[in-house]
Each structure stands twice: as structure tokens, then as C-alpha cells.
A and B are shown apart, each in its own frame.
Chain A
Amino acid sequence: MSTDQAAAPPVLIECQRQGGIAFPLRRPTISVAVAGLDEADRQALMRLVQAADLASQPAAFPAPGYPDALETQLTVAWPDHSATVRFRDGDGHPAPLDELAGWVLRHKR
């Protein structure tokens, strides 16, 4: 992860899912604006963003095409740039990406 990325907090996290056995169509994008979070949530999110390290991930993981795999697209936006990664069940992506996506989806519920 770059020094800039480590130092500056993100301003927005977005998560979108599609596929899986249940709902084939692209679901609405879930957005979390960091400015609206309380300090505890902001700190938790910062730790998850750092662990997910989007800057070091490929834009998309090679999809093995497993039946019913769920696809997730995560975007983290900083004041002057953003990073997006797309991954699916079973494609070998790092667990912190799931943890960040899960946090965003749960937070908006």
C-alpha cells in the first residue's frame, strides 16, 4: 500500500453485487460516505480498507466460472483517486476483501 493511501482516509466506499443462485440481476450499489460515520466506525473502516489494500489487487480476479458464484465489485475513493476491484466466490481473492464488502453491506442495513 502506498504511503499516501495509508495516510489519507477514504471518502467513500461502494459495494455492488450480482449473480449467485438467488438474484441474477445487478443489485443497487451500496455507498458509505466516511464523513457520516462516527469515530469508532471510521476507525473500523480504516482498518478494513488498509487490510483490503485495494491498490495492490488486480482490477479483476480471473473468474473460474463456478456455478452460482456471487460477484462483488468494491470501490474505495480517496479525495484525489479511487481503486476498484471485482472478485467472485472461489477465485482466490484475499479474505479482507470479503470482510470490507461485508462491513459495507451490513453498515447500510
Chain B
Amino acid sequence: MCQHAGCPPHVCFIIPPHMMEHVATNASDPTLRKRALHNLYHQGQLRGMRASMNQFAFAGLGTGTKQRTVYDAQHGGDLPGTLVRSEGQPDGQDVAVNEAYAYAGQTYDFYLEVMKRNSVDDKGMRLDSTVHYSTDYDNAFWNGQQMVYGDGDGEIFDRFTKCLDVIGHELTHGVTQFTAGLTYSSQSGALNESFSDVFGSLIKQYAAGDTADQADWLIGEGLLIPKAGTNRTALRSMKAPGTAYDDPTLGKDPQPATMKDYYSGSDDNYGVHINSGIPNHAFYLAATAIGGKAWETAGLIWYETLTTRLQLWSEFKDAAAATREVAQKHGAAAAKAVDDAWTAVGL
């Protein structure tokens, strides 16, 4: 076991974070940069030192300097794959590449224009995406450094680049990683998921110019391939958790809307995609009660909470308390709407 002062039992990092940051920023070998970034991510997680990520300047791009790259995994598992598009290059023939590029741009624009945030790290981090990951792959994920998208199986799922809110969801995992760092398990993990759904939905609403009462409040609408006699509306519904799909092949959407139906099993990292229905619904209730465009008030309250009030193991009650407190800055009506929303879901 490591004897270094400050290292937790059984865990030791021989390279100090500032050296790793230097390698991740300056090394000419992309493999070394990638490895250093990977190590930084895990050091930050294990030591609870998200400052090691927050303070890290990466490319140090100025505010408003959008940098996107898209890679093609060519149905393999190696990341990032072959570079197929860089910032400023025009659309090509590959729809998934075009979507990954365009929707990453819309997500960047939302965070910059609405939240005054310069990319996921607020320091202009380049947005890397890999498409055509694996074969018949029914998923999209954030690996701590980039987004990864599968093509779907063509029977149940369409390609995972298809929906702007799904891409906004994945990139918001990056924002969470660089801010609250919510641990991906139990209630902190469900909050992590919920913030990704909230901002994924807001990014879609912002792009469409929808008010809260015009929005569909669905996540991944159109991702499921329709089938007669089944409900394949979307992955999740913030308005009515538990109703997004119901299908003999897929089962029924298991999300609860309130604490009364809280999932206490161990699947899904102790319910991160399941219990996220509860804070999701609270946001929907708050945003529709406030009215107007959801990103203008409710979105700002949730963003300030994520970026300044929550931490690794925050729970639902912490998010409820923090948003109630932050909402008071936005007037009595907003404060009441947020308070009522959390009360309605049992918090």
C-alpha cells in the first residue's frame, strides 16, 4: 500500500496532477495526451479533487471559439477512431457525422449564449465525438473525454446522433464532470442523469424557440423505431415519467414521478436512469409554473445549483434545498414555483 501522505488507502498516483496536466496539454503524442487526461479524470474522481479538472486549461480557447471534431470508429471499439471532420468543414454524406457536428455546435451555443459557459469545462474544451461505434450498438455515452454514439440496431433503435437532446444530454455529463462531479450511483447519479435530461431538453427547446407549455418535455423522441400496437414515443418523459414507452420487447418505462414510487433496487447503478424521473418532474413542474421560456428562469436556477451548490455525493434533498434557495434571487413567484414543484414530488 502506498505510504504517501494524502493518498487514500490502496490508491496512489505517483505523478502529481500538475505534471499530468502539462502532459495532457503539451505532449506532442496524442496517445500520451489521452492517457494523461484519462489519469487526471480518475485522480480527480478518487481523490474528490475535481479542482484538478476544473483548473485544467486544456487548449485554453477563448470564449466563443467553438472547436468540434468528429471521428469514425468504423464499427470497432477503438476510440477516438479516424478523424473525419474538423471545425469549419462542410457537411458530407454521412448523416451521423453531420448530426454529431451540428448538434454539438448547438449545445455549445446554448451554454455560451444562455449560461455564459465556454464549452463543457468553461475553458473552451474541444468537443470530440465518435460515431459508428461498435456494431448494432444501442447506446451513447460520455467517457470522461468525449461523446460516443452507436448506430442503433435498426429494429428498436435508430442512430443515437439523431436527437439534439440526446447529444445535449451527453455533453451535459461533461459539464457535470467539471462542476458538481456528481458520483454516478444512487441519488447523486440520478441527479447527474437528471441534470443531463434537463439541459438536453432545454437545448432542444432553445433551438426550437419553444415556451415551457409548447415543449414536449420528451428525451430522445424519434430515437425508437415505431412499431404498430406499441408505445415507442421516447426514452423518457419529464412531464409524465413512466409513460415514454411500453412495448413487449422493451418493457415499460420504469421511471417514477414522485418519491412515493422511488426505486430502491441495484440495477442501473442503483437507479440512476430510473429515479432521475423525480427531479426531472420537479423541473418540469417548476418551469411550467414559472411560464415563458424554460431556460430563462428555471434553467438558470438549475444551472447555478449544478455549478455552484452541489458536490460529489449530493442527494435529492440537497438539490431541492439549493434550488429553493437560488430561486429566491429570481423573485417570489419563481421561488414559490420551485418550492411547490419539489413538494409535489415528495421532497
Residues of chain A having any CB pair with chain B under 8 Å: 18-26, 64-70, 89-90, 95, 98-99, 102, 105-106, 109
Known: A19-B268, A25-B267. A109 touches B153 (CB 8 A): yes
Assess whether B254 is in contact with A25, with CB atoms less than 8 Å apart: yes
Contacts of B267 in A (CB 8 A): 18, 24-26
Assess whether A22 is in contact with B235, with CB atoms less than 8 Å apart: yes
Contacts of A67 in B (CB 8 A): 141-142, 170, 173, 176, 184, 192-193, 196
Cα distance A98–B142 when bound, in Å?
18
Cα distance A20–B139 when bound, in Å?
6
Contacts of A64 in B (CB 8 A): 42, 144
With beta carbons under 8 angstroms apart, the residue of A21, A102, A105, A106 that contacts B139 is A21
Cα distance A105–B45 when bound, in Å?
34
CB of A6, distance to nearest CB on chain B (Å): 24
Assess whether A24 is in contact with B139, with CB atoms less than 8 Å apart: no
By beta carbon, the residue of chain A nearest B154 is: A109
Q: Most A CB atoms within 10 A — which of B76, B143, B173, B220?
A: B143
- Say yes or no: is B307 at the interface (Cβ < 8 Å to chain A): no
Mostly helix, strand, loop or mixed at chain B's interface? loop
Size category of the B interface is 35 or more
CB of B262, distance to nearest CB on chain A (Å): 14
Known: A24-B272, A66-B144. A89 touches B139 (CB 8 A): yes
For the complex of A and B, list the 6 residue pairs with the smallest distance between their C-beta atoms, beginning with the closest: A24-B268, A24-B273, A68-B141, A20-B139, A67-B173, A90-B143
- Say yes or no: is B29 at the interface (Cβ < 8 Å to chain A): no
Given contacts A68-B142, A89-B143, A102-B134, 19 further A-B contacts (CB under 8 A): A18-B268, A21-B139, A21-B273, A22-B220, A24-B267, A24-B268, A24-B271, A26-B267, A64-B42, A66-B144, A67-B184, A67-B193, A67-B196, A89-B139, A89-B141, A90-B79, A95-B76, A105-B153, A109-B155
Contacts of B223 in A (CB 8 A): 22
Known: A20-B141, A24-B274, A67-B173. A106 touches B136 (CB 8 A): yes
CB of A70, distance to nearest CB on chain B (Å): 5
Contacts of A109 in B (CB 8 A): 153, 155
CB of A90, distance to nearest CB on chain B (Å): 4
By beta carbon, the residue of chain A nearest B176 is: A67
Q: Which of B168-193 contact A (CB under 8 A)?
A: 169-170, 173, 176, 183-185, 192-193
Contacts of A19 in B (CB 8 A): 268-269, 273
Cα distance A65–B79 when bound, in Å?
17
Cα distance A108–B235 when bound, in Å?
24
Contacts of B79 in A (CB 8 A): 90
Q: List 12 A-B contacts (CB under 8 A).
A: A19-B273, A21-B170, A21-B235, A22-B138, A24-B267, A66-B144, A67-B142, A67-B193, A69-B141, A89-B141, A106-B136, A109-B153
Cα distance A101–B235 when bound, in Å?
24
Cα distance A89–B144 when bound, in Å?
12
- Say yes or no: is B198 at the interface (Cβ < 8 Å to chain A): no
Q: Which of B244-293 contact A (CB under 8 A)?
A: 250-251, 254, 267-269, 271-274
Cα distance A24–B268 when bound, in Å?
5
By beta carbon, the residue of chain A nearest B144 is: A66
CB of A20, distance to nearest CB on chain B (Å): 4
Cα distance A65–B192 when bound, in Å?
12
Assess whether B139 is in contact with A98, with CB atoms less than 8 Å apart: no
With beta carbons under 8 angstroms apart, the residue of B138, B141, B183 that contacts A66 is B141
By beta carbon, the residue of chain A nearest B252 is: A25
Contacts of B135 in A (CB 8 A): 99, 102, 106
Q: Which of B145-173 contact A (CB under 8 A)?
A: 148, 153, 155, 157, 160, 166, 169-170, 173
